[in-house]
Amino acid sequence: MRAAVLQERGGTPVVVDHEEPSEQAGAVLIDVDTAGLGGWDVVGAYRESVDFPCVVRGEGVGRDQDGRRVYFGERSVLPFGALAERTVVPVPEVWEVPDGVDDATAITMAIAGTGALLPLEATRIEAGDRVLVVGGTGALGRIALPLARHFGAGRVVAAARDADALADLKSAGIADEVVTLTGEDDAARLRDASGGDGFDAVLDLVYGAPLEAAIAATRWGARIVNAGTLAGRQVTLGPGALLFRTLTTIGTGQRPPAEREQIWRRLLQLSTEVDLSMPTTHYALEDAATAWQAQVASPHGKVIVDIR
Protein backbone atom coordinates (compact mmCIF):
# COMPACT_ATOMS: atom_id res chain seq x y z
CA MET A 1 0.00 0.00 0.00
CA ARG A 2 1.04 3.66 -0.35
CA ALA A 3 1.80 5.39 2.94
CA ALA A 4 3.38 8.61 4.20
CA VAL A 5 6.22 7.46 6.43
CA LEU A 6 8.33 9.39 8.92
CA GLN A 7 11.83 7.97 8.87
CA GLU A 8 13.08 9.82 11.93
CA ARG A 9 11.98 12.09 14.75
CA GLY A 10 11.58 15.65 13.47
CA GLY A 11 11.67 14.54 9.81
CA THR A 12 9.28 15.20 6.93
CA PRO A 13 7.20 12.24 5.68
CA VAL A 14 8.09 10.40 2.48
CA VAL A 15 5.41 8.55 0.49
CA VAL A 16 6.53 4.96 -0.11
CA ASP A 17 5.21 1.43 -0.66
CA HIS A 18 4.73 0.07 2.86
CA GLU A 19 3.67 -3.31 4.26
CA GLU A 20 -0.09 -3.66 4.75
CA PRO A 21 -1.58 -4.03 8.23
CA SER A 22 -3.31 -7.35 8.86
CA GLU A 23 -6.33 -8.41 10.90
CA GLN A 24 -5.58 -8.63 14.62
CA ALA A 25 -7.60 -9.34 17.75
CA GLY A 26 -9.08 -6.27 19.41
CA ALA A 27 -8.47 -4.00 16.43
CA VAL A 28 -10.31 -2.91 13.29
CA LEU A 29 -8.78 -3.01 9.82
CA ILE A 30 -9.74 0.22 8.01
CA ASP A 31 -9.54 1.30 4.36
CA VAL A 32 -8.77 5.00 4.80
CA ASP A 33 -10.68 7.56 2.72
CA THR A 34 -9.57 10.83 4.31
CA ALA A 35 -6.92 11.82 6.84
CA GLY A 36 -6.32 14.98 8.84
CA LEU A 37 -3.27 16.67 10.35
CA GLY A 38 -3.19 19.02 13.33
CA GLY A 39 -0.76 21.09 15.37
CA TRP A 40 -0.18 18.09 17.67
CA ASP A 41 1.17 16.01 14.74
CA VAL A 42 4.08 18.30 13.98
CA VAL A 43 4.76 19.93 17.34
CA GLY A 44 8.23 19.41 18.80
CA ALA A 45 9.77 16.03 18.31
CA TYR A 46 6.58 14.10 17.47
CA ARG A 47 5.47 11.59 20.07
CA GLU A 48 8.13 10.34 22.46
CA SER A 49 6.54 6.87 22.47
CA VAL A 50 6.72 6.41 18.69
CA ASP A 51 9.44 4.24 17.13
CA PHE A 52 10.67 5.16 13.66
CA PRO A 53 10.07 4.57 10.85
CA CYS A 54 6.28 4.86 11.22
CA VAL A 55 3.32 5.96 9.16
CA VAL A 56 2.14 9.48 10.05
CA ARG A 57 -0.33 8.90 12.88
CA GLY A 58 -2.89 11.63 12.02
CA GLU A 59 -6.60 10.83 12.30
CA GLY A 60 -9.06 9.84 9.64
CA VAL A 61 -12.29 8.49 8.25
CA GLY A 62 -12.58 5.22 6.34
CA ARG A 63 -14.47 1.94 5.98
CA ASP A 64 -14.10 -1.13 8.14
CA GLN A 65 -14.24 -4.57 6.52
CA ASP A 66 -18.07 -4.61 6.86
CA GLY A 67 -18.29 -1.33 4.94
CA ARG A 68 -19.16 0.71 8.05
CA ARG A 69 -18.02 4.35 7.75
CA VAL A 70 -15.88 5.11 10.78
CA TYR A 71 -13.73 7.83 12.36
CA PHE A 72 -10.49 6.82 14.05
CA GLY A 73 -8.05 8.94 16.07
CA GLU A 74 -4.28 8.98 16.33
CA ARG A 75 -4.16 5.53 17.97
CA SER A 76 -3.39 3.23 15.03
CA VAL A 77 -1.43 0.13 16.05
CA LEU A 78 2.21 1.03 15.42
CA PRO A 79 3.80 1.46 12.93
CA PHE A 80 0.54 2.22 11.10
CA GLY A 81 -1.34 5.52 10.84
CA ALA A 82 -3.97 7.53 9.03
CA LEU A 83 -1.81 8.77 6.15
CA ALA A 84 -1.92 5.44 4.32
CA GLU A 85 -4.34 3.43 2.23
CA ARG A 86 -5.00 1.11 5.17
CA THR A 87 -4.57 1.10 8.92
CA VAL A 88 -5.49 -0.98 11.95
CA VAL A 89 -6.92 0.69 15.05
CA PRO A 90 -7.95 -0.60 18.52
CA VAL A 91 -11.73 -1.21 18.67
CA PRO A 92 -12.52 1.51 21.31
CA GLU A 93 -10.88 4.15 19.10
CA VAL A 94 -13.12 3.39 16.09
CA TRP A 95 -16.38 5.34 16.08
CA GLU A 96 -19.19 5.07 13.55
CA VAL A 97 -19.78 8.35 11.70
CA PRO A 98 -23.44 9.47 11.69
CA ASP A 99 -25.14 9.82 8.31
CA GLY A 100 -24.93 13.33 6.92
CA VAL A 101 -21.58 14.16 8.52
CA ASP A 102 -18.86 14.68 5.90
CA ASP A 103 -15.32 13.37 6.40
CA ALA A 104 -13.70 16.76 7.06
CA THR A 105 -16.30 17.63 9.71
CA ALA A 106 -15.96 14.24 11.40
CA ILE A 107 -12.19 14.78 11.57
CA THR A 108 -12.28 18.45 12.59
CA MET A 109 -14.74 17.88 15.44
CA ALA A 110 -12.60 15.10 16.92
CA ILE A 111 -9.11 15.99 18.21
CA ALA A 112 -9.34 19.69 17.34
CA GLY A 113 -12.95 20.02 18.49
CA THR A 114 -12.33 18.24 21.77
CA GLY A 115 -9.07 20.12 22.28
CA ALA A 116 -10.98 23.40 21.94
CA LEU A 117 -14.21 22.56 23.76
CA LEU A 118 -12.92 21.06 27.00
CA PRO A 119 -10.31 23.72 27.82
CA LEU A 120 -12.79 26.42 26.83
CA GLU A 121 -15.39 24.96 29.19
CA ALA A 122 -12.73 24.92 31.91
CA THR A 123 -12.50 28.73 31.61
CA ARG A 124 -16.09 28.79 32.99
CA ILE A 125 -17.28 31.63 30.76
CA GLU A 126 -20.00 33.77 32.32
CA ALA A 127 -22.46 36.00 30.46
CA GLY A 128 -20.74 39.11 29.15
CA ASP A 129 -17.18 37.91 29.85
CA ARG A 130 -14.26 39.29 27.87
CA VAL A 131 -12.56 36.23 26.40
CA LEU A 132 -9.15 35.97 24.73
CA VAL A 133 -8.09 33.05 22.52
CA VAL A 134 -4.32 32.96 21.95
CA GLY A 135 -3.70 30.94 18.77
CA GLY A 136 -7.15 32.01 17.58
CA THR A 137 -6.38 31.61 13.86
CA GLY A 138 -5.56 27.89 14.13
CA ALA A 139 -7.86 24.89 13.99
CA LEU A 140 -8.62 24.84 17.72
CA GLY A 141 -8.94 28.63 17.79
CA ARG A 142 -11.44 28.67 14.90
CA ILE A 143 -13.65 26.33 16.93
CA ALA A 144 -13.08 28.03 20.29
CA LEU A 145 -13.95 31.57 19.17
CA PRO A 146 -17.57 30.91 18.07
CA LEU A 147 -18.06 28.53 20.98
CA ALA A 148 -16.93 31.23 23.42
CA ARG A 149 -19.64 33.51 22.04
CA HIS A 150 -22.15 30.65 22.15
CA PHE A 151 -21.31 30.13 25.84
CA GLY A 152 -22.11 33.77 26.59
CA ALA A 153 -18.94 35.79 26.08
CA GLY A 154 -19.67 39.47 25.55
CA ARG A 155 -16.41 40.19 23.75
CA VAL A 156 -14.23 37.69 21.92
CA VAL A 157 -10.64 38.57 21.01
CA ALA A 158 -8.17 36.50 18.96
CA ALA A 159 -4.38 36.77 19.08
CA ALA A 160 -1.70 35.16 16.90
CA ARG A 161 1.24 36.24 14.69
CA ASP A 162 -0.28 36.49 11.19
CA ALA A 163 -2.05 39.85 10.73
CA ASP A 164 -3.90 38.79 7.55
CA ALA A 165 -5.37 35.65 9.12
CA LEU A 166 -6.43 37.71 12.12
CA ALA A 167 -8.02 40.36 9.89
CA ASP A 168 -10.06 37.60 8.23
CA LEU A 169 -11.42 36.56 11.63
CA LYS A 170 -12.45 40.11 12.41
CA SER A 171 -14.05 40.81 9.04
CA ALA A 172 -16.01 37.53 9.28
CA GLY A 173 -17.31 38.61 12.70
CA ILE A 174 -15.71 35.57 14.37
CA ALA A 175 -13.63 37.87 16.60
CA ASP A 176 -14.65 41.31 17.86
CA GLU A 177 -11.02 42.40 18.01
CA VAL A 178 -7.67 40.89 17.06
CA VAL A 179 -4.11 41.40 18.27
CA THR A 180 -1.01 40.62 16.20
CA LEU A 181 1.62 39.22 18.55
CA THR A 182 5.02 40.72 17.76
CA GLY A 183 6.87 40.37 21.05
CA GLU A 184 6.69 44.17 21.46
CA ASP A 185 4.16 45.52 23.96
CA ASP A 186 1.97 42.45 23.52
CA ALA A 187 0.56 42.61 27.04
CA ALA A 188 -0.43 46.28 26.75
CA ARG A 189 -1.99 45.79 23.32
CA LEU A 190 -3.90 42.73 24.53
CA ARG A 191 -5.20 44.64 27.53
CA ASP A 192 -6.37 47.48 25.24
CA ALA A 193 -8.12 44.94 23.02
CA SER A 194 -10.05 43.58 26.02
CA GLY A 195 -12.14 46.75 25.87
CA GLY A 196 -11.83 47.17 29.63
CA ASP A 197 -9.43 46.46 32.47
CA GLY A 198 -8.40 43.05 31.13
CA PHE A 199 -9.79 39.65 30.17
CA ASP A 200 -12.02 37.50 32.37
CA ALA A 201 -11.07 34.28 30.61
CA VAL A 202 -8.18 33.17 28.40
CA LEU A 203 -7.83 30.06 26.28
CA ASP A 204 -4.14 29.79 25.42
CA LEU A 205 -3.11 27.34 22.71
CA VAL A 206 0.58 28.26 22.42
CA TYR A 207 2.24 28.72 25.88
CA GLY A 208 5.62 30.55 26.07
CA ALA A 209 5.91 34.34 25.82
CA PRO A 210 2.38 34.83 24.38
CA LEU A 211 0.91 33.18 27.50
CA GLU A 212 2.96 35.48 29.74
CA ALA A 213 1.58 38.49 27.83
CA ALA A 214 -1.97 37.11 27.99
CA ILE A 215 -1.80 36.62 31.76
CA ALA A 216 -0.56 40.19 32.15
CA ALA A 217 -3.64 41.31 30.20
CA THR A 218 -6.16 39.72 32.58
CA ARG A 219 -8.08 41.21 35.46
CA TRP A 220 -8.40 39.81 38.99
CA GLY A 221 -10.53 36.70 39.02
CA ALA A 222 -9.47 35.67 35.53
CA ARG A 223 -9.48 31.97 34.58
CA ILE A 224 -6.62 31.10 32.24
CA VAL A 225 -6.51 27.67 30.59
CA ASN A 226 -3.67 26.40 28.44
CA ALA A 227 -3.98 23.53 25.96
CA GLY A 228 -0.93 23.68 23.66
CA THR A 229 2.77 24.52 23.45
CA LEU A 230 3.47 25.76 19.91
CA ALA A 231 5.34 28.85 21.20
CA GLY A 232 7.49 27.02 23.74
CA ARG A 233 7.35 24.82 26.80
CA GLN A 234 8.47 27.30 29.47
CA VAL A 235 7.02 30.47 30.99
CA THR A 236 8.41 32.84 33.58
CA LEU A 237 5.85 34.19 36.01
CA GLY A 238 6.53 36.62 38.82
CA PRO A 239 4.68 36.26 42.13
CA GLY A 240 2.04 38.83 41.16
CA ALA A 241 1.20 37.30 37.79
CA LEU A 242 -1.36 34.84 39.15
CA LEU A 243 -2.59 36.96 42.04
CA PHE A 244 -6.38 36.33 42.24
CA ARG A 245 -6.23 34.38 38.96
CA THR A 246 -6.05 30.68 38.09
CA LEU A 247 -3.90 28.98 35.47
CA THR A 248 -4.63 25.40 34.43
CA THR A 249 -3.44 23.12 31.64
CA ILE A 250 -6.04 20.76 30.22
CA GLY A 251 -5.28 17.61 28.23
CA THR A 252 -7.93 15.77 26.26
CA GLY A 253 -6.14 12.93 24.46
CA GLN A 254 -5.39 11.20 27.76
CA ARG A 255 -9.10 10.66 28.51
CA PRO A 256 -10.69 7.21 28.02
CA PRO A 257 -11.89 6.55 24.45
CA ALA A 258 -15.55 6.25 25.45
CA GLU A 259 -15.41 9.71 27.01
CA ARG A 260 -13.69 11.18 23.93
CA GLU A 261 -16.28 9.53 21.67
CA GLN A 262 -19.11 11.08 23.71
CA ILE A 263 -17.49 14.55 23.46
CA TRP A 264 -17.04 14.09 19.69
CA ARG A 265 -20.73 13.23 19.28
CA ARG A 266 -21.62 16.30 21.33
CA LEU A 267 -19.43 18.43 19.04
CA LEU A 268 -21.03 16.98 15.91
CA GLN A 269 -24.36 18.10 17.38
CA LEU A 270 -22.96 21.51 18.41
CA SER A 271 -21.66 22.00 14.86
CA THR A 272 -25.26 21.92 13.63
CA GLU A 273 -26.23 24.65 16.11
CA VAL A 274 -23.17 26.94 15.97
CA ASP A 275 -21.20 27.89 12.85
CA LEU A 276 -17.93 26.02 13.48
CA SER A 277 -16.97 25.96 9.80
CA MET A 278 -13.27 25.72 9.15
CA PRO A 279 -11.05 26.73 6.22
CA THR A 280 -9.67 23.44 4.89
CA THR A 281 -6.89 22.74 2.41
CA HIS A 282 -6.91 19.38 0.63
CA TYR A 283 -3.83 17.44 -0.48
CA ALA A 284 -3.38 14.11 -2.25
CA LEU A 285 -1.57 11.34 -0.34
CA GLU A 286 1.33 11.61 -2.79
CA ASP A 287 1.69 15.25 -1.62
CA ALA A 288 1.88 14.32 2.06
CA ALA A 289 5.22 16.10 2.47
CA THR A 290 3.64 19.35 1.24
CA ALA A 291 0.67 18.82 3.55
CA TRP A 292 3.07 18.26 6.46
CA GLN A 293 5.02 21.42 5.62
CA ALA A 294 1.76 23.38 5.43
CA GLN A 295 0.91 22.19 8.93
CA VAL A 296 4.39 23.12 10.19
CA ALA A 297 4.07 26.57 8.61
CA SER A 298 0.74 27.24 10.43
CA PRO A 299 -2.14 26.58 8.00
CA HIS A 300 -4.80 28.78 9.67
CA GLY A 301 -7.32 25.99 9.23
CA LYS A 302 -7.45 22.25 8.79
CA VAL A 303 -5.06 20.22 6.62
CA ILE A 304 -6.93 17.32 4.98
CA VAL A 305 -5.27 14.54 2.99
CA ASP A 306 -7.51 12.74 0.51
CA ILE A 307 -6.34 9.13 0.48
CA ARG A 308 -8.73 7.75 -2.16
Ligand X SMILES: NC(=O)c1ccc[n+]([C@@H]2O[C@H](COP(=O)([O-])OP(=O)(O)OC[C@H]3O[C@@H](n4cnc5c(N)ncnc54)[C@H](OP(=O)(O)O)[C@@H]3O)[C@@H](O)[C@H]2O)c1
What sign does the CA torsion over 79, 83, 86, 92 have?
positive
Contact criterion met (CB below 8 Å) for 303 and 283: yes
Binding ligand X (rule: CB under 6 A), the pick from 54, 61, 157, 181 is: 181
- State yes or no: residue 251 binds ligand X (CB under 6 A): yes
Alpha-helix residue ranges (DSSP H) falling in 73-221: 103-107, 113-122, 139-150, 163-171, 186-193, 208-216
CB of 17 to ligand X, least distance (A): 30
Binding ligand X (rule: CB under 6 A), the pick from 63, 150, 161, 266 is: 161
Residues in the interface with ligand X (CB under 6 A) total 32
Please classify residue 240 by burial: count the beta carbons closer than 10 Å to its beta carbon, then call 0-12 exposed, 13-18 middle and 19+ buried: exposed
What residue type is 52 in one-letter code? F
- State yes or no: residue 43 binds ligand X (CB under 6 A): yes
Binding ligand X (rule: CB under 6 A), the pick from 98, 152, 221, 253 is: 253
Nearer to ligand X by Cβ, of 27 and 178: the residue is 178
- State yes or no: residue 278 binds ligand X (CB under 6 A): no
- State yes or no: residue 298 binds ligand X (CB under 6 A): yes
First-to-last alpha carbon distance for the chain, in angstroms, is 12
- State yes or no: residue 146 binds ligand X (CB under 6 A): no
Rounded alpha-carbon distances, angstroms, from residue 223 to 91, 129, 214, 215, 243? 37, 11, 11, 9, 11
- State yes or no: residue 228 binds ligand X (CB under 6 A): yes
Nearer to ligand X by Cβ, of 54 and 159: the residue is 159
Contact criterion met (CB below 8 Å) for 104 and 80: no
CB of 151 to ligand X, least distance (A): 18
Binding ligand X (rule: CB under 6 A), the pick from 123, 218, 229, 271 is: 229
Rounded alpha-carbon distances, angstroms, from residue 191 to 93, 124, 213, 228, 295? 42, 20, 9, 22, 30
* Host H or E run for residue 295: helix 288-296
Q: Is 39 helix (H, G, I), strand (E, B) or coil?
A: helix
Residues 86-145 that bind ligand X (CB under 6 A): 111-112, 115, 135-141
**x/- letters, 20..39, toward ligand X (CB under 6 A):** ------------------xx
- State yes or no: residue 193 binds ligand X (CB under 6 A): no
Q: Site residues (CB under 6 A) for ligand X?
A: 38-40, 43, 111-112, 115, 135-141, 160-162, 165, 181, 205-206, 210, 227-231, 250-253, 298
